[in-house]
Amino acid sequence: LAGKEHADAIHQLEYRISRLEGVLLLNKIITESGGKIFATNGKRADFDATVEKCKEAGGSIATPKSPGENDAILYFVKYFNTYAYLGIKQSLIPGKFQLLNGAQLTYTNWYANEPSGQGEE
């Protein structure tokens, strides 16, 4: 049993290292919040390409679920002086938003009257 526990621990470490290597391949900026790693390569891309790049790195597009995670994403926005895509989409109900998998948002930090559905948000 001890051998199996060691093998499981090694497998978990190999998996975590693999994921970290994927993130490091983005090769520019990395920050952490709440045990999550947030990373960017700083390059402009469309939403679908961003989602795919995140999957290739073993992660997912950033979706802030706390003020700390929101700050981690905001760090990149300020650093690169640009916007950031989030793992959020408009639901079938106009003006309501949800996670990409359809789950309800548990955290938001919108400006007043936003998102308004006007322009690119």
Range of the domain at 4: 1-99
Per-residue pLDDT tens over the stretch 23-40: 665 556 778 888 888 888
Per-residue pLDDT tens over the stretch 70-111: 999 998 999 889 889 999 998 888 778 899 999 999 999 988
Half-sphere exposure of 64 (CA within 13 A, CB side): 17
Residues 6 or more apart in contact with residue 40 via CB below 8 angstroms? 26, 28, 29, 76, 80, 84
Q: Is residue 6 assigned to a domain?
A: yes
Give the chain's domain count.
Answer: 1
Question: Beta strands 97-99 and 88-90: pairing type?
Answer: antiparallel
The CATH number linked to 85 is: 3.10.100.10
pTM of the model: 0.71
Q: Is residue 55 assigned to a domain?
A: yes
